[in-house]
Amino acid sequence: MAANLKKFVNPKFTKTVDLILFKRLFERYAGRLKGFDLGVLEGESDAARKALREFFAGPEENYPERLVADLHRIAELGNREGLRLLQEQARRREIHIGSEDGRDDPKHVALRVFLDHPQLFDAAFEIHALEARRSIGEFAGAAEGVEASTNGETRAAFEQKAEALFEADLRGRYCRIDWHEDGDELHVIVGHAAHVTTTPVVKNEREQVISYRAAEHGVLAYSALTGRLKIAGIAKAHRSEIAEIFAQTMLGRPGFFAAPDSQTLYTLGPIEQAGFGFRFTHAFDPAIRRVQIVEVQADRISADPLTGDAKARSAIILRDPAGDALGLLGESAPGISFRPNAYRIGHLTIRVHFDVGETKPVRVTVKIKPPGSVIFKRHRFEARIMELLRRNGLCHEREPGQAALAAE
C-alpha cells in the first residue's frame, strides 16, 4: 500500500507551513491516521512540528497513501513557480487566493488553494506537470466528436488497468486519477509510482540504507472536438498502452488511438518544397510579431537496400541566434537539396515572439520533429502555436469525411 509512495520527509515544508491549514488537511483523513492526535496541531508550535516529523518518519501503514500523494502535490506547487501558476489560474477564474492576514508564503497559498479551491489547484498542477515535461506524446483518434465518460466506474477501470501496467514495469501497483475540464479538453492527472530508489540516510547518528518509490504524475489531455489525446509524464515506451487504456475505459472504443498513422501528425514537407528561402506566414495573428528559425537539422538519407525504407545516414545541425538558420544552411552547404535519396529536414526549431502589451515580447521556442513531436512549454499560447503550424501546412489534417468513415 503506502510503500508504493515516497515518505513525506520535506523538512522545509513541515517546519514552516501553517499548522491550522495542516489540521484542516488532516481532518479529511480522520479515523485513518493511526497514532496521531489532531489536537497537537492546536498546541505549541515546536511540539506540533516535532509530532509531524515523527509521524511521517514512522510506519507508512499509519497514514493513507492518498495523504502522502496530496502532500507531495502541494509541496510541488509550494514555491515561487507554483505560486505563479496558482495566481494565473485564479485570475482566469476571478478568484482571490490571498489571505486576510497577509500570510502569502507559497507553501501556505498552495495548501490553502488545495483545501478551498480544488479545481483551481488541479488546473495549476496539470500545467506544472506539462511544464516539467516538455516532451509530449500525441495521438490522433479514429474519429472526432467522441465524448469521454468520467464516473466512478470508468475511473476504477482505468486505475485497475494502469496499475497492472505500472506493476509490470516494476513501478508497483499504485495508480490514482483525477480529472477536470479545461476549455474543450478533458485533463486526467495520473498519479503513479516511480521505480524503486535505494539511498543511504543518517538516522540516530548512524548510516542506514532505505528504499522507496517516489510519487510521480502524468497528464492526459483529450479533446473530443478533434479526437486528439496528449500524454505527458508517462514513459515513452508506455504511452501507446496508456492511450489504449484511456480508449477502452473512458471512451469505450478499444483501438481508438491504434491506427498506423495515429502518431503521424506533423510534417516539414512544405519547408522542404519551398527551400532555404521559406518564411513563416503569421499575419493572420496580430499578436505574433515575428517567427525566427533558430535551428535546423538536415539528414542525409538513402534507401535501405533490404527494405527500401529511407534512413538517415548522417546529419548536419546548424544554429543561428539571429533567426535564419535555414538560409544560413543554404549558404554554408550549397550542395544540399531536399529530395528523395538526398536530404530531408530532421527537425526545425523556431522562436515565436508574442506581443503581450509590454516593451519586450514573450518568446516561445518550439521544436518540430516529425512525424509525431512538437515540443514547447504549453502553459501559454498553445492554441496560437498550433494554429501557426496549421496555417503553414506543418500539421497533417484528417481528410474530409475520414472522421465520419472511421466512426462508422
In the chain, domain spans? 2-132, 137-251, 269-391
Q: Kindly give, in sequence order, each residue whose CB lies less than 8 Å from that of residue 68, ignoring residues fewer than 6 positions away.
A: 2, 5, 6, 7, 8, 60, 215
* Cα gap 57→62, rounded to integer Å: 10
Instruction: Give the CA distances from residue 127 to residues 77, 155, 183, in Å, rounded to whole numbers and listed in that order.
Output: 11, 21, 14
Instruction: Give the CA distances from residue 208 to residues 5, 9, 18, in Å, rounded to whole numbers and listed in that order.
Output: 19, 16, 31
Strand segments (E) across 148-184: 175-182
What is the CB-side half-sphere exposure of residue 320 using CA atoms within 13 A? 19
Q: Kindly give, in sequence order, each residue whose CB lies less than 8 Å from that of residue 366, ignoring residues fewer than 6 positions away.
A: 349, 350, 351, 352, 374, 375, 376, 385
pTM above 0.85, yes or no: no
DSSP string for 369-392:
ETTTEEES-TTSSHHHHHHHHHHT
* Cα gap 261→80, rounded to integer Å: 41
- Give the closest residue to 291 by CA, choosing from 364, 236, 197: 364
Dihedral over alpha carbons 184, 225, 191, 83 (to 10 degrees)? -30
Q: Any idea what DSSP says for residue 324?
A: B
- Amino acid identity, residue 29? Y
Q: Residue 172: what pLDDT?
A: 76
C-alpha cell at 381: 499560447
Residue 71 near residue 97 (C-beta atoms within 8 A): no
* Cα gap 62→36, rounded to integer Å: 9
* Cα gap 139→229, rounded to integer Å: 5
What are the average pLDDT values for consecutive 10-residue runs of the chain, which has 408 residues?
Answer: 44 76 86 82 86 75 75 84 90 85 80 91 76 73 93 92 85 81 83 78 76 77 93 88 96 95 93 94 95 93 74 85 91 85 90 85 88 80 91 80 42
- Return the bridge partners of 363, or none: 353
* Cα gap 157→170, rounded to integer Å: 20
Q: Kindly give, in sequence order, each residue whose CB lies less than 8 Å from that of residue 52, ignoring residues fewer than 6 positions away.
A: 14, 22, 41
C-alpha cell at 288: 505574433
* Cα gap 234→136, rounded to integer Å: 9
What is the CB-side half-sphere exposure of residue 12 using CA atoms within 13 A? 9
* Cα gap 230→216, rounded to integer Å: 17
